[in-house]
Amino acid sequence: MFELTLQAVYSGLLAGGWYAMVALGLALVFGTMRIINLAHGELVLLAAYVAFEMERSFGLNPIAAIPVALVVVGLTALLVYFLIGRIRHDRELNSLILTFGIAIVLTNVILMTWSADIRSTSVGWFMDGAVIADTLFSMNSEVLFFGAGVALVGGTYWWLNHTWHGRALRAVSSNRNAAMLMGVNPARVEAMSFVVSAVLATVSGVALYTASVVFPALGHGLTIKAFVITVLAGLGSVPGVLLGAVILGVGETMTATFAKPSLQELTGMVIFLLILFLRPSGLFGRKVVGK
C-alpha cells in the first residue's frame, strides 16, 4: 500500500511538471490578451513532430532538435498572433472561433505531412528506467523534463517579476491603457507573450515525444488539460499553474491507483468543477470586484 501510494504521488508529480509547462504557455497568452488559444495543444504537438522529423531525417537527438522546433513553433505562434490581431470586433469571443479553426488546420497539416501513424523517439536512453531507492520508478525522459518544466516555470516567474519586459507584460495584463500611458507597446508585449508561449510549447512538445507517443489527434486533449490548469491556477498566477498542474497530475495517478484508472480523466474534471464552484477566481486568482 505504502509503495503504491509513493509511486502514485511520484508519477503524479512528474506528470504535473510537464502539465505545468504545457499550461503556462496558454496561461501567459490568456493573462496578456484575455484570449484562450485553442490551438496551443497543436503547437505542442507540432514541436513533437518537428523533433520526430529531425530524428528520422538527420538522426538528430530530440534535445538537439529543440532549436529547429522552436523556430517552426515560434513562427507558427506569431502567425496565430497576427491572425488574432486582424480581429476588429469582440476579440475574446471571435478569437475562440479563430484559434479553434487554426487548431483544426494544424491537425490536418500534421496529418497530411506525417500521416496518422503513431510516433515516438527511438533513442533508448529516454525510455530507460530511472529508479530511486528501488521504490520510485520512472523513465529518464520524465525526470529530465520534470526538471526542465520546473526550471522553465521558475524562470518565467523570475522573468515576469524581475525584468522590464516581464513587468511590461504584467502591466498590459493588468491594465492595457495604463500600460500604454507608461510607454509600453501592448502589441509588442502581446507578441512576446506568444513567443514565450511558443518556447514552453516547444520544450513540452519534445518532452511528449520522448516520454510518450504522438499522433495527429492528440492536440485537442492537451489544450483541454492546459485550460483546466489555467482555471485552477487563477488568472496570471505562475505558482498557481505549477500547483494546479501537480494537483491534477497527482489526482489522476491516485485515482488510477486506488480507484479505477478509467476514472482518472473524470477526476481532473471534478477538481476543475470544485474549484470553479468554491473559488471561481482560481487557487491564486484575485477576486474581481464589480464597479
- Find the binder of other proteins among 261, 270, 273, 280 (CB under 8 A): 261
Q: What is the grid cell recorded at 220?
A: 485537442
- 134 in contact with other proteins (CB under 8 A): no
- Find the binder of other proteins among 75, 93, 105, 118 (CB under 8 A): 118
Residue type for position 8: A
How many CA atoms does the CB half-sphere of 134 hold within 13 Å? 0
- 59 in contact with other proteins (CB under 8 A): no
Of 33-41, 152-160, 171-179, 255-263, the segment contacting other proteins by CB under 8 A is: 255-263
Distance in Å, CB of 157 to other proteins, minimum: 26
d(CA 171, CA 141) in angstroms, rounded, equals 36
CB-based burial label for 168 (10 Å; 0-12, 13-18, 19+):
buried
Do the beta carbons of residue 233 and residue 156 sit within 8 Å? no
- 108 in contact with other proteins (CB under 8 A): yes
- Find the binder of other proteins among 95, 138, 197, 204 (CB under 8 A): 138
Distance in Å, CB of 100 to other proteins, minimum: 14
Segment 14-53, which members bind other proteins (CB under 8 A)? 15
Q: What is the DSSP string of 215-233?
A: -GGGHHHHHHHHHHHHHHH
- Find the binder of other proteins among 162, 260, 287, 291 (CB under 8 A): 260
Residue type for position 176: R
H-run or E-run covering 138: strand 136-139
Residues near 116 by beta carbon (within 8 Å), at least 6 away in sequence: 215, 216
Distance in Å, CB of 283 to other proteins, minimum: 23
Segment 176-235, which members bind other proteins (CB under 8 A)? 212-213, 215-217, 221
Distance in Å, CB of 109 to other proteins, minimum: 11
Of 37-45, 63-71, 115-123, 191-199, the segment contacting other proteins by CB under 8 A is: 115-123
Residue type for position 105: V
Do the beta carbons of residue 58 and residue 44 sit within 8 Å? no
For 161, phi then psi, to 5°, come to -100, -20
Distance in Å, CB of 125 to other proteins, minimum: 12
- 92 in contact with other proteins (CB under 8 A): no
Closest CB to other proteins among residues 129, 183 = 129
Distance in Å, CB of 257 to other proteins, minimum: 5
Distance in Å, CB of 33 to other proteins, minimum: 28
Angle formed by the axes of helices 164-174 and 2-33, nearest 10° = 80
d(CA 184, CA 199) in angstroms, rounded, equals 22
Contacting residues toward other proteins, per CB under 8 A: 3-4, 7-8, 11, 15, 107-108, 111, 115-120, 122, 124, 127, 129, 137-139, 212-213, 215-217, 221, 253, 256-257, 260-265
